[in-house]
Amino acid sequence: MIHLPGENPDIGANALRVVGAVHEFGSITAAAAALGYSQPAVSQQLKRLEKRLGLAVVERVGRGVRLTEAGLVLARHAVTVATALDAARGEIAELQGLRTGLVRLVAFPSASATLVPSLLARMKQQHAQISITYLEAEPPEAVAAVRENRADLAITFSYPGDRVDPHRESAQGLRVATLRRDEMMLVLPAGHPLAGAAAPIDLGDLADENWVAGCPRCRGHLLDLCDRRGFAPRISYETDNAAAVFGLVEAGIGVALLPALAIESVGRRAGASIRATSGQDHRTLHAVTAAGAERVPALAAALRALVAISSVV
């Protein structure tokens, strides 16, 4: 059927999935493999969709393809439609008495040794039929994974006043729920003059120290905090590995500022002293999902479990 201008062409949920997969995987062949279709079947779906729309959805670029403006519009809505369909299937499964499902989880490194194992253990105990896959990624990549339908649930974090907070623009249209506050703590060599201080320590008292910085966003937060105290920290070492941070501090190489969750992932060491900051510095942990994803029973169960373990971990 040829649709005239002003008519509403039938796009179809499956066609949206195909366009979304082409956008995510970058080629028709890769999209077909991900969807479990043959390459000719995907090509035919795209051709039928273009005929219904009266617009090109993909265009050839060298040996590959890319989405046209119309294709990008459809891809943008693919995640929402996929989530709604999963919700519908899940609710029907609930009515049928089924308790199966799949949750694709993504979280930042220090959560890998703390929140994630507790979440997986709780889900295994309470919802053994639900399968969970896990991928480690920092918040910007984790938020993008949810937006692009490569993940269902992301555990992320943000800092107060963070100028590159991925929960602002990139999370528009997604559901961002606050889980808990995660205190920022100073890590000092055991023999440091302030190691035994009873009161919280002002960062300004460490202005002359060498600093060990973490991930780019954590480093940016440290720079911002120190700037507020009127000094620029001398960052001599950078590592995303919390255990490596402790090793450097214990060796007397420098001092560091780490979230309590990262400290917990390594465990306290005899050669390092953990002290609070006078500014009550902290970050906030979040759960990010697609809008309406809480209607998917398997995902709703995972969210409930995450909220429960976040209050005790």
Please say whether the beta carbons of 187 and 243 come within 8 A.
no
Query: The whole model's pTM is what?
Result: 0.70
Residue 196 sits at φ, ψ, to 5 deg, of: -100, 10
- Its CATH architecture, for the domain 99-180+284-311, is 3-Layer(aba) Sandwich (3.40)
- The segment(s) of the chain belonging to CATH 3.40.190.10 are 99-180+284-311, 182-282
CA distance 113 to 201: 28
Q: Render pLDDT for 176-228 as a digit per residue (tens, 0 to 9).
A: 999 999 999 999 999 999 999 889 999 999 999 999 998 888 888 999 999 99
Q: Render pLDDT for 122-144 as a digit per residue (tens, 0 to 9).
A: 999 998 889 999 999 999 899 99
Q: Render pLDDT for 152-163 as a digit per residue (tens, 0 to 9).
A: 999 999 998 777
CATH of 1-98, one of 3.40.50.150, 3.60.20.30, 1.10.1300.10, 1.10.10.10: 1.10.10.10
- The segment(s) of the chain belonging to CATH 1.10.10.10 are 1-98
Third-level CATH fold of 182-282: D-Maltodextrin-Binding Protein; domain 2 (3.40.190)
Q: Render pLDDT for 74-100 as a digit per residue (tens, 0 to 9).
A: 888 888 887 887 777 777 766 555 567
Residue 256 sits at φ, ψ, to 5 deg, of: -150, 165
